[in-house]
């Protein structure tokens, strides 16, 4: 039986490739998709609060449909339907829309947590709907929802390996390709795990500290 030996030469050989895939694909998709999801999720939550019940029912059905179908299926559907889109753009759009449905529910909970008296006060002061949202509701809702939004961003980051299904060479796929070409899987895949941990763990700690800070500030 052959004794396993960690090969540092393999580590230094594959590390630039993995870091390139991380910064050029994995991180870009995560950051841009998170921005899209955060903005779109807020829009969805505000619409559901403002529109008539029949329209809200339609929006709720669409949100539930997107949230309850696998992101892999959504990636394949968009990629093969909109063939003019690059794999990167397809991944960003699908991840952004998919996670916006989760963030919309977080925002909606935050909006619902705003005391009824706040809404009544804005009416008494004759504030416009736009100013009510900007000056009163959204700041309070964000205060309650930022930690949960951060956790969804981390979840999105950990879901980026699904991009392999549309041929994007993100971090995990880069490690797999290197292993297939060299028959050395242990070092590249171990490094993949370390890079994911090095990126997500500090973010999780930051979200946790932010959650405690916001809780103490109430």
CATH number assigned to the domain comprising residue 212: 1.10.3720.10
5 located within any domain: no
40 located within any domain: yes
Give whole-number Cα distances, 43 to 59, 84, 139, 143, in Å: 11, 27, 14, 17
3 located within any domain: no
Residue-by-residue DSSP string for 130-160: HHIIIIIIHHHHHHHHHHHHHHHHHHHHHHG
**Contact predicate 192/18, CB 8 Å:** yes
Q: What is the pLDDT of residue 215?
A: 58
113 located within any domain: yes
Q: How many domains does the chain have?
A: 1
What stretches in the chain show pLDDT beneath 70? 1-4, 214-218
Range of the domain at 201: 14-216
Q: What is the pLDDT of residue 216?
A: 52
150 located within any domain: yes
Q: What is the pLDDT of residue 30?
A: 96
8 located within any domain: no
pTM over 0.85: yes
Q: What is the pLDDT of residue 1?
A: 45
157 located within any domain: yes
Q: What is the pLDDT of residue 109?
A: 84
7 located within any domain: no
């Amino acid at each position: 039986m052959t004794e396993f030996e960690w090969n540092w030469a393999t580590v230094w050989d594959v590390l630039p490739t993995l870091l390139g895939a991380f910064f050029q694909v994995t991180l870009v998709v995560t950051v841009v998709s998170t921005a899209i999801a955060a903005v779109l999720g807020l829009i969805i939550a505000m619409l559901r609060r403002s529109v008539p019940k029949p329209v809200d029912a339609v929006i709720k059905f669409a949100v539930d449909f997107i949230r309850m179908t696998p992101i892999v299926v959504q990636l394949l559907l968009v990629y093969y339907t909109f063939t003019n889109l690059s794999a990167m753009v397809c991944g960003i759009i699908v991840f952004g829309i998919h996670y916006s449905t989760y963030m919309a529910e977080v925002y909606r909970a935050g909006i619902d947590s705003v005391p009824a008296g706040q809404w009544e006060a804005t009416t008494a002061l004759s504030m416009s709907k736009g100013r009510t949202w900007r000056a009163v509701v959204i700041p309070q809702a964000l205060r309650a929802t930022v930690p949960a939004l951060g956790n969804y961003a981390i979840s999105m980051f950990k879901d980026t390996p699904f991009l392999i299904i549309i041929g994007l060479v993100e971090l995990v796929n880069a490690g797999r390709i290197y292993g297939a070409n060299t028959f050395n899987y242990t070092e590249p895949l171990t490094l993949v795990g370390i890079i994911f941990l090095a990126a997500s763990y500090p973010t999780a700690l930051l979200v946790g500290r932010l959650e405690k800070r916001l809780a103490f500030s109430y």
